[in-house]
Amino acid sequence: MLKLSGLTVTYGSFAAIEDVTIDVAEGELVVLLGSNGAGKSSTFRAISGLEKPSAGGITFDGKNIAGQSPERIVKSGVVQCAEDRKLFPQMTVHENLIMGAYVHRKKKKEIRQALENVHALFPMLQEKKDHAAGSLSGGQQQMLAIGRALMSRPKLLLLDEPSIGLAPLIVEQMFEVIHQINQEGTTVLLAEQNANAALKIADRGYVFESGSIVVQGTSEELFTNDAVRKAYIGA
């Protein structure tokens, strides 16, 4: 479904990611592991069209999307929920969700359906629908960010560190919801530092180190891989 081949993104003379090759099949939940600055977010930014790759290709459903504008990429069904959430802080929760459905703005019925789905997934978003997004707690903001991304009914959801800065209990809930989203048919590419939790719900994974992929495999393989255990699981 999504194929990155030899993707390289540079900022000036610094290569944030180099020669990254990733494959995601339809219906999978794939995790990108790695510490801060390892290149996960740069990979996501390139997929979403926020950064132009300096080499390599990105195809989605067989069509080249590398270097396309972010709005065309969203229209084709790839939506990113960014690490810093990028909500509209002074808009209400409801308005944020409605903006999430921007690409379907002419289809009222679909928007209502998507809104119901998101509310079913995160009942909190319905309770707080008239609150300003900026007034929510970190966990609630993360839920809103995921909800907003789901409003565009993506085929592929990119989740950049959804557990960052959240309390352990909330993190657990978050991973349950991500698992559920995947089970309901959305392909998920997840960037995480929390390898333990992520590998539990993922099918496969890639490990980033200084901008390149160093290990890849199924979740079981990564879970039992010594280097991965030492670096990311801590056992």
Q: Interface residues with another protein (CB under 8 A)?
A: 48-50, 69-71, 74-75, 79-80, 82, 85-91, 95, 98-100, 102-103, 105, 148-149, 152
CB of 232 to another protein, least distance (A): 27
**73 or 207: CB nearest another protein:** 73
- Comparing CB distances to another protein, the nearer of 152 and 225 is 152
Q: How far is the CB of 220 from another protein (least distance, A)?
A: 33
Q: Which is nearer to another protein, 149 or 198 (CB)?
A: 149
Q: Report in angstroms how near the CB of residue 90 gets to another protein at its nearest.
A: 6
Written as six digits, the tokens of 85 are: 């959430």
Query: Coil, strand or helix: which one is 84?
Result: coil
Q: How far is the CB of 160 from another protein (least distance, A)?
A: 11
List the beta bridge partners of residue 156. 78, 187
Count H helices, E strands: the chain? 10, 10
DSSP for 85-125, please give it. ----TTSBHHHHHHHHTGGGTT-HHHHHHHHHHHHHH-HHH
Q: How many other CB atoms are found less than 10 A from the CB of residue 49? A: 21
Q: Which is nearer to another protein, 128 or 148 (CB)?
A: 148
In terms of C-beta density within 10 A (0-12 exposed, 13-18 middle, 19 or more buried), how is residue 190 classed? buried
Nearer to another protein, 50 or 177 (CB): 50
Q: How far is the CB of 171 from another protein (least distance, A)?
A: 23
The rounded distance, in Å, linking the Cα atoms of 85 and 160 is: 9
Cα→Cα distances 78→18, 31, 187, 227, 231, Å: 22, 16, 10, 32, 30
| Least spacing, CB of residue 8 vs another protein, in Å | 20
Give the nearer residue to another protein in terms of CB position, either 95 or 221: 95
